[in-house]
Structure 1
Amino acid sequence: MASPNISFDTLPASIRKPGKYFEFNTKLAVRTLPANVQRVLIVAQGTAEGTQPALTPVEVFSDEEARALFGTGSLAHLMVRAAITANPYLRLSVITVADDAAGIAATGKVALTGTSAGVGVVSLTIGAQLVQVSAALADTAAAVAASLAEKVNAHRTLPVKAAAVGGDVTLTARNKGAAGNGVSLACSLAVDGLAAVVTPMAGGMVDPDIAPALAAVFADGHHIIAVPYTAQAQLTALRSHLDAVSHALEQRGAIGVYAHTGTLAQGTTLAELINSGRITCALLPGTTSPAWELAAAYASVIASEEDPARPLNTLALSPVAVPPVAKRLGRMEQESALYNGCTPLEVGPGEKVQIVRAITTYTRDPQGVEDIALLDLTTIRTLDYIRKACRERISLRFPREKLTNRTSAKVRSELIDVLYKLEELEIVEEVKANLPGLLVERDLQDPNRLDAKIPADVVNGLHVFAGRIDLLL
């Protein structure tokens, strides 16, 4: 160093040859905040038909590409389809896991009887997708069943395959495990002489362990991880992964997303078992869209909002099927969901499913005391972004800094600049009032370490407005 206030990286102080030497300093070039593009990862099952090896992440850009990579109608394929439908500009990666060796695929049945007394149509709804075949005069139940099974197997986006024996069409989930139990079935007949009895999908058991897949992408830096499962074991593995990658030593903050289409009581009971400030559950009872499609659409919509502090209220999940009126959450049921760790979805104008208020499953601290610190999903996303902004600024400005008494003041100055820029973007507030709490000081035990305490008054969402109207006569 040749000057009290100017340091050089490439020009040594020992130069003796006369000359005019200049180096380039790019450490001060970036004066803005970092971008906040969200990378989404889907962890789900593929099938043997897919060409992508399990436990190997890959970027995906289209529904058709996902079908080839992960197998027609696989959970991974259909989650990609739902995610891209909800947000076509998504940065999406997928890692698949194989069916568990002990897994059992869910099955259902449509039993047709009789003989067609005219010309008409037989309609089978699988999840939110419709399969139709025509019935001619005098067609037997067996003939119609064979046509229906053929049409199901030719469909490129169904989560089941079909086999016809006599008048019975047996539907089997393409992936083993409990997820297949969530595929709804309905059959309607617009033809005389035929009748149908539907047996719901059931019997699917043993979802795969997702821990190996999460371990394989530990260092990849995804911001949102969506899973199709609603079992405590898989969600606990997801929670452990998120806690690990978001730890202060790793600093790759991420959130997890799952969905529940069962009852309010089932959804809140599961959320209480997870209780994580980094996991969010979309709750929509009664929809014919399977839970995995709902989870993928929800994750995709979250990723569409790069401002971490901006609420997601009213954003629509375009591919999700609207539930019948009788199944929709009422006003107080939505309140119950919001007090018990579930993000309620509702049907808005135009019969579109939309977010009421995005929250996490975190409701209680380690002592069991009710805690709203991480209630809103925006809070943890904002904290992750503040950490990213501060970390990148310090890394850019001080890549090879010596630790002297002047260093603390320089670091504090940079942190103040970051906080003011965050305030300009309405990500934090009251920066000036909180500046006395911004401390940068040497560590008492490590002579090579500088410690900082950074107050961050995160901007909250405007979720409730209350007004009083005074009557004047």
Structure 2
Amino acid sequence: MTDIIPTSTRVPGTYVGYDFSRAGRALASGEEYVVILAQRLATGQIAALTPTDVFSAEEAADYFGRGSQAHRMVAKAIDANANLKLAVCALDDDGAAVAATGGVALAGTASSSGQVRLQVAGVTVAVAVSTGDEAADLMTALVQAVVSKPDLPLTAAAGSVTVQGAPADGVVLTARNKGACGNEAGLTLTVTATGLTGTLIAMSGGQGDPELAPALSAIFSAGHTVVVTPYSTDDALSALATHLDKVSGPTEQRGAVGIAGWRGTLATGTTLTGKLNASRISTGWHNASVLSNGELAAVYGAVLASEDDPSEPIDNIVLPGLDIPPQATWPMRTEEENALHNGLTPYRVAGDSVQLVRAISTYIKNSEGIEDATLLDLTTIRTLDYVRIAWRTRMSQRFPNGGKLTDRRLLQIKSETLDVLYALEGLEMVENIDAYKDQVIVVRNARDDTRADASIPAPVVRGLHILTGTIYLY
């Protein structure tokens, strides 16, 4: 019986109230909520360190500056998952940061028609060439062509560049955002008109990423389930791992994972993930990509959030909007295997698309330095987070104010716990609950007579990642 109708009532009559605490039996929805941490431009309308929901790339351009790191990451994420629930917490460029620069130099006079094509992060900027066109005029046209594409991560201006150790007239390319992110804009130059030669200077010299700590503090209580970072450095990922452990711990209980990207070599990538060894961070590796680490992470995070079932394996899933690097740079199977044994999540080119091979965390060793596959797959920790949400939601429904700590209440808690586990088993998130039901234990705490402790087995269903067969010849 409930105490909705006060026992102090003395006026005769029949009184009927409603108690909704036993109505809900459905499990919690566990909706995914992605947040992107990225740099803004001074032209953006939203101040730094202000978590803001974003619904389109155009909004991101207005909020954070067109062509900014934040704008470009949002555009990639929404292109990969149009139904994404997305927020951005922007950062200002570091005050001591240096912008990356690159350049193009043309020489000669065209003796045939053709094009000068500059690819910037996979986007082609082309200038038409006619017979007799001079290099200086074509470079002026190239500057105008680059400026006409404000979504690019860099700007262009006429200036001096270095060709074979000597200064020369050219097109100077400067990253919009200062810091190391500007070094990650891949460039390719193609000149098809005869009589002209071209020299390309890759983007370099960018230094000084902003600290992640202020942004992580700003989003601490927001409840994001996927945190996307553009910075794949020891310091940044260590700060993110600490943040994820805190918000996901037993007191805060807002389970989240972090996603980073890596466009460098296998050796440098596995060195990075090996030092990190974090069960809540996954780093996607797309070797020799022309996109930035942040854009690689944004696509991965958006696709991860598209999967409603946290226990569903994320194998061979398409990552829309990623570039296809030259075939010579595609990882071999042995390199993919090496990556997966060292906490690095490889991407694979499959036809005209890019796929994620297997979503794993960077956790590879236990505290004693022994190889440990317990939390290898990212689905494991995400499923445990969901089990916690489901159980906490049921407890809050059935016992909204706790109630009295009696043996009867302990039995009710145990019964509801089993009901949740069987419901999760029906969704194939956990399995064999009959075999584990005796491990559901609810007891009074020995040192606090107002506290009950529950033991909840969670035999998480593992993904079918590998299927083998033997064909016998008779």
Decide: shared fold, TM above 0.5. yes
> Cα offset for 1:20?
0.9
Moved more, 409-418 or 164-173: 164-173
1:3 maps to none
Q: How does 1:93-112 map to 2 (within 5 A)?
A: 93-112=87-106
Matched letter for residue 451 of structure 1? D
- CA–CA separation in structure 2 for the residues paired with 1:152 and 1:55: 30
> Cα offset for 1:138?
2.4
Matched letter for residue 378 of structure 1? T
Give the conservation status (yes or no) of the 8 Å contact 1:287–1:324.
Answer: no
2:442 maps to 440
Does the residue aligned with 1:242 lie in a helix, a strand or coil? helix
Unaligned stretches of 5+ in structure 2? 161-168
1:238 maps to 240
Does the residue aligned with 2:315 lie in a helix, a strand or coil? coil
- Once the two structures are aligned, what percentage of the paired residues are identical? 46
> Cα offset for 1:111?
0.9
- CA–CA separation in structure 2 for the residues paired with 1:230 and 1:271: 10
Does the residue aligned with 1:36 lie in a helix, a strand or coil? coil
> Cα offset for 1:186?
1.0
Give the conservation status (yes or no) of the 8 Å contact 1:282–1:345.
Answer: yes
With normalisation by structure 1, the TM-score equals 0.97
Does the residue aligned with 2:317 lie in a helix, a strand or coil? coil
2:33 maps to 39
Unaligned stretches of 5+ in structure 1? 1-5
CA RMSD of aligned residues (A): 1.0
- Tell me, yes or no, if structure 1 residue 7 matches structure 2 residue 29: no
| 1:420-470 superposed Cα distances (whole Å, 9 cap, x missing partner) | 000000000010100111110100111110101101100000001122222
> Cα offset for 1:66?
0.7
> Cα offset for 1:295?
0.6
Give the conservation status (yes or no) of the 8 Å contact 2:289–2:324.
Answer: yes
> Cα offset for 1:136?
2.9
With normalisation by structure 2, the TM-score equals 0.96
1:290 maps to 292
- CA–CA separation in structure 2 for the residues paired with 1:334 and 1:183: 24
- CA–CA separation in structure 2 for the residues paired with 1:36 and 1:144: 55
- CA–CA separation in structure 2 for the residues paired with 1:455 and 1:322: 44
Q: How does 1:122-141 map to 2 (within 5 A)?
A: 122-141=116-135
Q: How does 1:344-423 map to 2 (within 5 A)?
A: 344-348=346-350, 350-400=351-401, 401-423=403-425
Give the conservation status (yes or no) of the 8 Å contact 2:263–2:292.
Answer: yes
> Cα offset for 1:256?
0.3
2:65 maps to 71
Q: How does 1:39-438 map to 2 (within 5 A)?
A: 39-165=33-159, 167-348=169-350, 350-400=351-401, 401-438=403-440
| 1:365-414 superposed Cα distances (whole Å, 9 cap, x missing partner) | 12211111110000000000000000010011001211111111000000
Give the conservation status (yes or no) of the 8 Å contact 2:30–2:389.
Answer: no
Give the conservation status (yes or no) of the 8 Å contact 1:320–1:353.
Answer: yes
| 1:213-262 superposed Cα distances (whole Å, 9 cap, x missing partner) | 11011000000010111111111111111111001000000000001011
Does the residue aligned with 1:314 lie in a helix, a strand or coil? strand
- CA–CA separation in structure 1 for the residues paired with 2:134 and 2:46: 42
Moved more, 127-136 or 457-466: 127-136
| 1:176-211 superposed Cα distances (whole Å, 9 cap, x missing partner) | 111111111111012122111111111111110011
> Cα offset for 1:121?
1.4
- CA–CA separation in structure 2 for the residues paired with 1:259 and 1:369: 26
> Cα offset for 1:289?
2.1
- CA–CA separation in structure 2 for the residues paired with 1:368 and 1:337: 18
Give the conservation status (yes or no) of the 8 Å contact 1:343–1:356.
Answer: yes
- CA–CA separation in structure 1 for the residues paired with 2:193 and 2:9: 96
Does the residue aligned with 1:370 lie in a helix, a strand or coil? coil
- CA–CA separation in structure 2 for the residues paired with 1:328 and 1:149: 33
The runs of at least 4 aligned residues of structure 1 exceeding 6 Å deviation read none
2:165 maps to none
Moved more, 369-378 or 130-139: 130-139
- CA–CA separation in structure 2 for the residues paired with 1:271 and 1:411: 41
> Cα offset for 1:64?
1.0
Matched letter for residue 388 of structure 2? R
Moved more, 289-298 or 112-121: 112-121
- CA–CA separation in structure 2 for the residues paired with 1:470 and 1:311: 30
Give the conservation status (yes or no) of the 8 Å contact 1:142–1:165.
Answer: no
- CA–CA separation in structure 1 for the residues paired with 2:385 and 2:131: 65
- CA–CA separation in structure 2 for the residues paired with 1:49 and 1:140: 36
- CA–CA separation in structure 2 for the residues paired with 1:109 and 1:228: 24
2:163 maps to none
Query: Which of 13, 18, 24 is the aligned partner of 1:30?
Result: 24
Give the conservation status (yes or no) of the 8 Å contact 2:343–2:363.
Answer: yes
Aligned length in residues: 465
